[in-house]
Amino acid sequence: MKQNDARGTMHAERESTNLPFIVPRSDFRVSTLRVLLWDIDGTLVRTKRSGVFRDYTTPAIKRIFGTAGRLHEMQVSGMTDLQIICEALRDEGFTPADVAARRGEICEQFVAELERVTNAGMLYAAIPGVRETLAAVEREPRYLSALLTGNVERAAYWKLRVTGLAEFFRLPGAFGEDSDDRRDLPALAAARINGSLGLNLLPAQFIVIGDTPNDIACARHYGARVVAVATGRSHTAQDLLPFNPDALIEDFDDPAVLLRTLALL
């Protein structure tokens, strides 16, 4: 499957993992199909200590732009990588266009530093129960899983590979190099997924699953549904509730909980 957009190199990266694009199984009606758009950090994977994000992004940004600006003082959860860099460098004379123009280098450096500082992935782990939950979802013809993450695509798949979750994500998605505003990502993911499947799924057939208010906001912006999960470091269930997700679950300890939740949306 070829994507005729400007992201050929990123698609080539996914293709290099030999993950085939999937076609819908025959035993479902299109109107009942739901695409789950999974966030990564704090939702599918977590680091074994805090601060790993800054460890790999600070040297990457410094190498490209000569400074990491105010990255050290920022709260970054739920932001896209492009957005984080724009925000960090705003007072350093770099415009969002300057940052976007170097997205190729950004993707390359982020993965290089990620591999270097995390010692071959030893610092990342799948969140408990996530693997079993993804497997349970995959057994249901009604659901497909895809990624909607602030990570640049290469970093996203790197994190999924080292945590053993990459096999569940064979559809296109939306990633951190796509926009400096996460609210743009659901529409991009939906367009790519519809193109890949040859379908025209409606916004309400997409369900964002994420651990921050930004995940909820991006879903609302597009008209998707959203399940908030209190699995991240930055927001508890109490923190997330005021943002009015369609549903909220505490963890993935019992895969049946997400399936029951999805069935109600």
The answer to the question of residue 42 lying near Mg ion (CB under 5 A) is yes
Per CB under 5 A, which of residues 156..185 are in contact with Mg ion? none
Which one, 64 or 173, has the nearer CB to Mg ion? 173
Closest distance to Mg ion from the beta carbon of 220 (Å) = 16
Window contacting Mg ion (CB under 5 A); options: 41-49, 67-75, 88-96, 183-191: 41-49
Amino acid at the residue 235: H
Which one, 42 or 69, has the nearer CB to Mg ion? 42
The DSSP result for 172-226, as a single string, is --B-TTT-SSGGGHHHHHHHHHHHHHT----GGGEEEEESSHHHHHHHHHHT-EE
Q: Kindly tell me which residue out of 7, 35, 36, 41 binds Mg ion, with binding defined by CB under 5 A.
A: 41
The answer to the question of residue 81 lying near Mg ion (CB under 5 A) is no
Q: Which residue is nearest to Mg ion (CB)?
A: 42
Closest distance to Mg ion from the beta carbon of 235 (Å) = 9
Per CB under 5 A, which of residues 137..156 are in contact with Mg ion? none
Q: How far apart are CA 79 and CA 193, in angstroms?
A: 22
Which one, 144 or 208, has the nearer CB to Mg ion? 208
Count of residues of this chain found to bind Mg ion when the rule CB under 5 A is applied: 4
Amino acid at the residue 135: A
Footprint of Mg ion on this chain (CB under 5 A)? 39, 41-42, 211
